[in-house]
Chain A
Amino acid sequence: MADQVTMEVDFTHRFASGVQVRASLVQDVAPGSMLVLFGPSGAGKTTILRALAGLFEPDQGRIGLDGAVWFESSSGRFVSPQGRAVGYVAQNAALFPHLTVRKNIEYGLHGAADQRRLRTDHLVELIGLCGLESRYPRQLSGGQAQRVALARALAPAPRLLLLDEPFGALDATTRRALRSELRTVLRDTRTSAILVTHDRLEAMAMGDLMAVMVEGVIRQVGPVADVFKRPGDSAVARSLGVETVLPAIVGDVNDGLVTLRIGSGTLTAVAEAAGKTGDNVFACIRAEDVVVSGQPSAGGSARNHLTGRVIAIEPEGAVDRITIECGFELVAAITRQSREELGLGPGSTVGAAIKATAIHVVPKV
């Protein structure tokens, strides 16, 4: 198996409604890794997935995988979905209602009956569906149905798995369980995947690479941490919704609080779902939750008191977004009046206080 899968998606399409989608995404994807296609609802994410799956033919452009051209408007080439061998899992599981779980998983398999059976058995075990083989879809819970859909898509061993908000309709607990199972299965089967989501926590938790889509255009592509750290433009930053996202390692956990090691600094957060010591997580902090003062102080109820230097000030209406270097880069939002009263400018030394409850910890799966 080749080490990297090169994906080429470059097309434009104008829908009858006037909505236009411009997708440009040429990316090497490592086997078993996941590219998250992130953006608000209606940004055109599903259009890209459908174009890759061959369920939709764009007006113009080129789509291909690893040198194979699936769609090329200039030559009129269009490979049918059957010829592309990609797995596709939709938001609702879309299981065949007249077939049992076993028959659903077996659906896309060819070859001798005993080989199909062997492959199905393997997937049933891999995805944790033992005991459900003879059930019909209507007898399954949402999470179980989604697992079957996943097993069915993986059965023919696709080069690429396309996941369109597969956890959207599930409750939080099931979602968390399925996320980590999915990551494990993809790693074990060395299947590359594209996951569409509008949930930034899901993007952080699941993604290796991330493409941000706003209003029909892919604005930025890169490793998840980089995208959150350095949004390419204000539209991307707005869609991400969180100003500071820091890769961290879980330190001590005690008394309901957790210490996060971030670069050379540490932060204290509420343990919530932080996991155990040594885990990789993201610490997310909204700019509004950072209190800035003229000098370092240890007063008040906040658990985190940091000292740093202002490295950038970006006015945004009545509010200024200031970036503080304090062992890591922290973004704070303060009113222009406050900033003027404090006399802050680039290079000023400031104190920053953050309550432990304002730090959101997202475990990396």
Chain B
Amino acid sequence: MDWTAFWVSVRLSTATMLVLIVVGVPLAYWVAFSHRRWKFLVEAVVALPLVLPPTVLGFYILVATGPMSPFGRWYASTVGRGLPFSFQGLLVASVLYSLPFAVQPFSAAFAAVDPRLIETSWTLGVSRPATFARVILPLSVRGLVTGMVLSFAHTLGEFGVVLMIGGNVPGSTRTVSISIYDAVQALDYQAAGSTSLVLLAVSFVILAITYALQRSAWAAWPIR
């Protein structure tokens, strides 16, 4: 059992989830309430990771953050080291890869709030941001929890993107799924088996708790 890899995965999943709350909530609000004509383009971009092979996504992120790109060079000169093959690089990739798993449940929940409640709040003199905080957010708790859990669990289980961008640095970018793959390659079936079992158990427990709390069978699936 590779506990180092397990904790890297947990740290990565937690960080991804937190970043996705900060990035995903405003984006989901915009997707839910904007009337822009080109909104569908943003929606399509957000949903891309659902259909793209992780290797394709990983390849583009690698190219975009590597020393060949202006951004990659700027980041490397500012921070002192490049994004690829670092925990931060992995975090950027994970955020992009799990974006639809957070944004879609968030925006579905926001859009499901009765517009009459929102309008009533406005006529009572409460500003749009305050209406969001006092009406929309509390009524979207289920969707928020769903999005958080899904992005956490999805990051926990990601493999292809990590393989492309993370490399295999123990304690930094070697996640639990990579660790299992390595163990199997080395024909160490016992280590692969115990790590797999832990990942399976943890994933199942997280999802089971979420569903039990929400008491609504398939609400977690991002349907719009």
Contact = CB atoms under 8 A, between A and B. Distances in A.
A86 B123 contact: yes
B124 interface: yes
Contacts of B26: none
Interface stretch (B113-121, B149-157, B189-197): B113-121
Interface residues of A, number: 23
Nearest to B131: A82
Interface of B: 114, 116-117, 119-127, 134-135, 138-139
A55 B120 CA distance: 9
Given A82-B126, A97-B139, A107 B119 contact: no
A90 B116 CA distance: 8
24 contacts: A53-B119, A53-B123, A54-B123, A55-B119, A55-B122, A81-B119, A82-B122, A82-B126, A84-B123, A88-B119, A90-B116, A90-B120, A92-B116, A94-B117, A96-B120, A96-B135, A98-B138, A98-B139, A107-B121, A108-B125, A110-B125, A152-B120, A153-B123, A153-B124
Contacts of A152: 120, 124
What DSSP secondary structure best describes chain B's contact surface? Answer: helix
Given A110-B125, A156-B124, 7 more contacts: A81-B119, A82-B123, A94-B114, A94-B120, A96-B135, A107-B126, A152-B124
A80 B122 contact: yes
Contacts of A90: 116, 120
Contacts of B126: 82, 107-108
Most buried by A among B121, B124, B135: B124
A85 interface: yes
Nearest to A83: B125
B116 A81 contact: no
Nearest to B139: A98
A88 B139 contact: no
Given A92-B116, A94-B117, A107 B124 contact: yes
B176 to A, nearest CB: 38
Nearest to B134: A107
A108 B138 CA distance: 17
- Kindly list the 4 A-B residue pairs having the minimum CB-CB distance in the complex, ordered from nearest: A108-B124, A81-B122, A88-B123, A94-B116
Contact of A96 (B117, B119, B125, B127): B117
Contacts of A107: 121, 124, 126, 134
B116 A85 contact: no
Contacts of A85: 125
A108 B134 CA distance: 11
Contacts of B121: 96, 107
A53 B121 CA distance: 12
A351 interface: no
A85 B123 CA distance: 7
Contacts of B116: 90, 92, 94
Nearest to B122: A81
A156 B125 contact: yes
Contacts of A156: 124-125
Interface string A63-89: 000000000000000001110111110
Contacts of B117: 94, 96
A55 B124 contact: no
B151 to A, nearest CB: 24
Interface string A91-119: 01010111000000001101000000000
B140 to A, nearest CB: 10
